[in-house]
Amino acid sequence: MEKEKKKDLIISLAVIAAVYAIVAVLEAVLPRTSMLFTVLKKGSIYALVAVSMNLLNGFTGLFSLGQAGFMLLGAYTYAIFTIPVEQRAAVYQYFDGGIIQFSLPVFLGIILAGVVAAFFAYLIGLPVLKLKSDYLAIATLGFAEIIRALFQWDKLGGLTNGSNLLRRFPVFKSTLFPMTVAGICIAIIVMLINSTYGRAFKAIRDDDVAAEAMGINLAHHKRLAFTISSFFAGISGALLAMFQTTVQAAQFKSAMTYEILLIVVIGGIGSVSGSVISSFLFIACSEWWLRFLDNADTYIGSFHVPLLRPGFRKVVFSIVIMAIVLLYQRGIMGDKEFSISGIRKKIAARKAAKAKKKEGTK
């Protein structure tokens, strides 16, 4: 059994390595502007933030809607601390070159983005995590809105550039960069979920009164889950900043949190692999595959297809999402994980069923 587990782990790692290798090869072969890379880049960023949200909503049972706020913190932190010194005068043209006159390397910037988001999460978590279910949701949503207002305040312009864009910070070119960073972060989250902490989180989700009776410190574990989740949301915010090459607070609206929540729901609340799969599907559908629905001059033969015009894609898309939410509540993966051992078990079960059938016909 132990041996089989090891074998499965090696196969899983090999599959993941193969995916990265294929992307590397594709990047060398296909033109850089291909939609595929946009989807992979944005998809992996959303995968990270969706998994981080799932850690809260799916594994700890804390219904938080503050993800956009923490992404904003991450994106701004990264941008503020990595803009090269010689570019600062141009970026902060209305604020005398800004108050920060140094810049950090990219790697440190990303880590710092997570740390700042986690720090704010810790502070806000002290009062807010005492709240239950939908009150928690609305309080975290409110917190994200406060942060968004704060970052657009012109008195803080020396730091945040007011409501102007932040730009000219270092960005990534290769698709492998966001995929690798997101991959490492998701791996850390998975390890956390499988640790004693993860089991405590799940106990809180299933029944917090029982969990407390078993000796789990509720306040401590909730705060821990909230802080860690925000750390990774902050990192994905930094990646998003790099992907877009500019940052502006106005973009991190509650609609963004809703999108991430819908990704988590489509993937299955409580499934990491579900969140990853669904964020790639979500981004691919919204950015790429459904684009044809926006084209007003579509003909099938000589038939002019009605209704198609810009915006129709999003309508179809949201109807599909509603259908999933209403009819297929468990999402793609439910609370199961996609794994090699799972597939192996399924194949074995199918074989056994076939063998039984054969016996039956004899």
Partner 1 sequence: MGFFQTNLPYLLAGISTGGQYALIAIGYTMVYGILRLINFAHGDVFMCAALMVIYSASYLPLYISLPLAIVATGLLGFAIERVAYKPLRTAPRMSAMISAIGMSYLIQNLALYVTGGLTKYYPPVPFISDSIEIFGAMTKRVTVITPFVTLFLIIVLVSIIKYTKIGIAMRAVSRDFETAQLMGVKINSVISATFVIGSLLAAIGSTLFFSNYTGVTPTVGGMPGLKAFVAAVFGGIGSIPGAVIGAFIIGICENLIKGMGLTTFSDAFTFVLLIVVLMFMPTGLFGEKATDKV
Binding site for partner 1 (CB under 8 A): 63, 127-128, 130-131, 133-135, 137-139, 141-143, 145-146, 149-150, 152-154, 209, 253-255, 258-259, 261-262, 265, 309-312, 314-315, 317-319, 321-322, 325-326, 329
CA distances to 16, 143, 298 from 121, rounded to whole Å, are 32, 10, 48
Shortest separation between residue 60's beta carbon and partner 1, angstroms: 13
Q: For residues 66 and 114, which CB has a smaller minimum distance to partner 1 in the complex? A: 66
1 vs 255 by CB, closer to partner 1: 255
Output the smallest distance, CB 277 to partner 1, in A: 18
Q: Element (H or E) spanning 175, and its range?
A: none
Of 30 and 138, the one with the shorter C-beta distance to partner 1 is 138
Task: Tell me how far apart the alpha carbons of residues 317 and 313 are, in angstroms, rounded to a whole number.
Answer: 6
Nearer to partner 1 (CB atom), residue 48 or residue 256: 256
What's 165's DSSP letter?
Answer: P
d(CA 173, CA 303): 42
| Closest distance of CB 284 from partner 1, Å | 18
Token pair in block for residue 316: 């179809």
Q: How far is the CB of 238 from partner 1 (least distance, A)?
A: 24
Cβ burial of 251 (10 Å; 0-12, 13-18, 19+) is middle
DSSP 3-state assignment of 163?
coil
Minimum gap (Å) between residue 144 Cβ and partner 1: 9
Provide, rounded to whole angstroms, the least separation between the CB of residue 321 and partner 1. 5
Residue 160 vs 175, nearer CB to partner 1: 160
Token match 């932190």: residue?
A: 77
The CA distances from residue 152 to 25, 155, 164, 221, 225, in Å, are 42, 9, 8, 33, 29
Beta carbon nearer to partner 1, 30 or 219: 219
If you write DSSP's letter for every residue of 246-279 in order, what string do you get?
Answer: EE-GGG--HHHHHHHHHHHHHH-TT-HHHHHHHH
